[in-house]
């Protein structure tokens, strides 16, 4: 089934990142000085959009600090396709499979919350948990669409 069907309409939308690994945003991520000169990174904000056509867009805004004392803010975006696997008990809850050219991850969705589980590239074992809350369209966008 396509993601845009009525059955999947309950999970389509915009999800705002609110926390990573139990910490509320902004949250600092451990970063190794692995020759890149980067000594720290903090996630400032993020958004996951599940589109009706079965595609998704993930955008993160991060602040990074370099060993030379410099740093900056960077927007990181990625995307791909998604598929919803509803729970047998509650059709508005279940698992979302996110696929991109880099592989596949999954997210658990229940009501208005979504938890994206992913394995960090630089860490062995363990998973990172990214917690999102579903948000309505911003007020101005909703007004323009009327």
What domains lie within the chain, and their CATH numbers? 6-144 (2.40.128)
- Picking from 87, 97, 94, 98, the residue whose alpha carbon sits closest to that of residue 109 is 94
- Say how far apart CA 54 and CA 90 lie, in whole Å: 21
pLDDT of 55 reads 96
pLDDT of residue 92: 80
Distance CA 82, CA 4 (A): 11
pLDDT of 23 reads 92
* Mean pLDDT per 10-residue interval, the chain, length 146 residues: 53 94 88 61 94 95 83 93 92 91 91 83 65 76 47
Using CA atoms, how far apart are residues 16 and 146, in angstroms rounded to an integer? Answer: 23
Return the pLDDT at 5. Answer: 47
């Amino acid at each position: 089934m396509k993601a845009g069907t009525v059955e999947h309409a309950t999970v389509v939308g915009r999800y705002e990142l609110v926390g990573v690994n139990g910490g509320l945003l902004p949250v600092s991520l451990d970063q190794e000085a692995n020759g890149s000169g980067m000594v720290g990174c903090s996630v400032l904000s993020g958004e996951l959009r599940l589109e009706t056509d079965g595609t998704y867009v993930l955008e993160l805004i991060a602040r990074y600090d370099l060993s030379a004392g410099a740093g900056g803010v960077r927007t990181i975006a990625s995307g791909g396709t998604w598929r919803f696997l509803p729970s047998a008990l509650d059709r508005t809850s279940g698992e979302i499979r996110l696929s991109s050219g880099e592989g596949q991850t999954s997210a658990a969705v229940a009501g208005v919350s979504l938890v994206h589980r992913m394995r960090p590239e630089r860490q062995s074992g363990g998973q990172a948990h990214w917690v999102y809350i579903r948000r309505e369209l911003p007020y101005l966008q909703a007004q323009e669409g009327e």
